[in-house]
Structure 1
Amino acid sequence: MNLKEIITIAAVATITAVGLTYAYWAGYLFPEYLTIFHAGSLSVPLDKLSEEFTSAHQRVRIALESSGSVDAVRKITDLHKSCDVLAVADYTLIPELMYPEHAEWTIIFASNEMVIAYTDESSYSAEINPENWFKVLNRSDVIIGRSDPNKDPCGYRALMVFQLAAIYYNNPSINASLWNHAKTTVRPKSVELLAGLESGQIDYAFEYKSVAVQHGLKYVELPDEINLS
């Protein structure tokens, strides 16, 4: 082996070693995976947080798995799937459904409130306001959207809003009329109603305020006695 061949082999070995070292520290060879089951309403903030986290910790790969909060819990308790972080829209689901076998502690990191989201194309969008919203929603040609109360906290919170509105406005018929509204669209999770709003298939959807803001939707703010803030 002549000197030129030795130099070539040494150069290749050095470049390979440097490349492997960089790949190792950058996380390309043996990345660490972080799995997060989360409520659909948390998709936007978790996407942003994941970008910031992986930028600071390049060896980490984050897998985000969105669903309704109840379904997220059931993935662990019923389907025996594992995750590193569980982020739900109703923290009480964790102690109620997961203690003590599947979880030992929770952290409350944010609060929210219920609103009625809509667009300029929604029927009667120029009329609806915090005083008459239940009258507008009860019109026979209005299509209401809410999520499944058996899968998503936003869904059972919408039903709670109906009940509280009946008490607040001293009108028992509000609860039954909104609950049984003929033109009601129900989806597994509240964020799945957004496409219907934007396409005009749904006029009004019960959403968290954070979701309405994140997606640039108009919304009716409800009285504090009703909005579950």
Structure 2
Amino acid sequence: MKLTRLCAFIGLIVAAAVLFSGCTGTTEDPTTTPTPTATAAEDVQVKVFHAGSLTGPFEKVKAEYEAEHAGVTVLLEPAGSVDCIKKVTENGKPADVVASADYYLIPEMMIPEHADWYLTFAKNRMVLTYSNESKYADEITAENWYEILDRDGVRWGFSDPNSDPCGYRTPMVIQLAEAYYEDDQIFETLVSEHSAITVTDEDGVYTIHAADPKPDSTTLTIRPKSVELVQMVQAGGLDYAWEYRSVAVQNDLEFIELPEEIDLSSIDFAENYATVQTEAKKGDGTTLYVGSPIVYGVTVPKIAEHPDLGIEFVETLIGATGQEILTGDGQPPIVPAGGYGDVPDALQSLVEMKA
């Protein structure tokens, strides 16, 4: 028995020696852990909170970005711009990029606690959208749209002024229309008669009280995001909806372009736009959004989990690729983008710094 065990032990020693000698002649040591391949970015998810009106172009920017960043997935999360920012500032949800349809919301709600910088990167204008099946589609023009919306049986809508810049901008446009068309009943007949939204005038400044809109949902419909209304127009649930021009272009909707004096598109009429403001909910109180040209903003929050990748997404957005995408989607880019605050060095060559 002892002899058998000794033979077995010697056999094991011999086998181990043969195996070792066979391996020393190879170029790879199997006992060494292989060096990992370059997959540092593998399975990384870049989260982008953005205005619903940016959904079309951002899907294209996402595709271009992912093509240049192997292993990185961009998660787009559209919502009303106010809600996008509140996810970060109130709920503590990490986002690598936040893009707002009203650039001013970033310095107002995020600087300096939640972000150090922001860029202005695109413009837009308010339009009234419809389909070929909408009531009076063959009659509506830039001169009579407010009369068409007031006709019996016409259903129209806009987004929630408390959640979405398109929502607090829509009643501004309607109020500005009174002076332009010389009809001081436009707001009353279109908005106040079909909701709890009212307007007051003090020294030539009109304040629209929209914190608790309560639409009748028969003539006037209000939804959290303006893009939700697109499907309603396409399906025939609404005849008309207020949107940004880019949204109309991206969704092949018919639309009426309004005079620049009232559509919030031109810096030439900034003083005129500032004569209207919308009061909306903010926490337990209210806030005022003052009429101004429509300008989009973007930043990388301090809470970002992948700030460098977020900055690279912004670089794609404001560079030649993003400019081409925005232009094709009916949303004029700002070239170069305007920079405010401590803009990262990686973006400096694409930005014109502002005061």
TM-score by length of 2: 0.58
Deviation at 1:181?
5.1
Deviates more, 1:171-180 or 1:130-139: 171-180
Greater radius of gyration (CA): 2
Question: Does residue 1:75 correspond to 2:87, yes or no?
Answer: yes
Q: Secondary structure at the match of 1:140?
A: coil
8 Å Cα contact 1:112-1:208 kept in structure 2? yes
8 Å Cα contact 1:69-1:89 kept in structure 2? yes
Q: Secondary structure at the match of 1:115?
A: strand
Question: Does residue 1:200 correspond to 2:236, yes or no?
Answer: yes
Equivalent residue in structure 2 for 1:55, among 58, 67, 80: 67
8 Å Cα contact 1:138-1:177 kept in structure 2? yes
Structure 1 residue aligned with 2:37: 21
Equivalences for residues 178-193 of structure 1 within 5 A: 178-180=190-192, 182=194, 183-193=219-229
Structure 2 residue aligned with 1:117: 129
CA deviations 1:174-196 (Å, max 9, x no partner) are: 01112135401111000000110
Deviation at 1:97?
1.5
Structure 2 residue aligned with 1:43: 55
Question: Does residue 1:147 correspond to 2:163, yes or no?
Answer: no
CA deviations 1:9-56 (Å, max 9, x no partner) are: x99x8xxx69x637x26x54xx33211110110011011001000101
8 Å Cα contact 1:138-1:181 kept in structure 2? no
Cα distance in 2 for partners of 1:181, 1:63 equals 41
Q: Secondary structure at the match of 1:228?
A: coil
Equivalences for residues 127-138 of structure 1 within 5 A: 127-138=139-150
Cα distance in 2 for partners of 1:65, 1:217 equals 23
CA deviations 1:158-203 (Å, max 9, x no partner) are: 0100110011112110011121354011110000001100110100
Question: Does residue 1:162 correspond to 2:174, yes or no?
Answer: yes
AA in 2 matched with 1:112:
N
Equivalent residue in structure 2 for 1:126, among 128, 138, 145: 138
8 Å Cα contact 1:144-1:202 kept in structure 2? yes
Deviates more, 1:54-63 or 1:66-75: 54-63
Deviates more, 1:214-223 or 1:52-61: 52-61
Number of equivalent positions:
217
Cα distance in 1 for partners of 2:118, 2:245 equals 23
Cα distance in 2 for partners of 1:207, 1:174 equals 19
Cα distance in 2 for partners of 1:218, 1:165 equals 21
Question: Does residue 1:214 correspond to 2:250, yes or no?
Answer: yes
Q: Secondary structure at the match of 1:162?
A: helix
Deviation at 1:59?
2.7
Cα distance in 2 for partners of 1:224, 1:143 equals 25
Deviation at 1:104?
2.2
8 Å Cα contact 1:40-1:66 kept in structure 2? yes
AA in 2 matched with 1:82:
P
AA in 2 matched with 1:48:
K
Q: Secondary structure at the match of 1:185?
A: strand
Cα distance in 2 for partners of 1:93, 1:48 equals 24
Q: Secondary structure at the match of 2:123?
A: coil
- Which is richer in strand? 2
- Which is richer in helix? 1
Instruction: Provide the alpha-carbon RMSD of the alignment.
Output: 2.2
CA deviations 1:129-165 (Å, max 9, x no partner) are: 1110110011121101100000000001101001100
TM-score by length of 1: 0.88
Cα distance in 1 for partners of 2:109, 2:85 equals 8
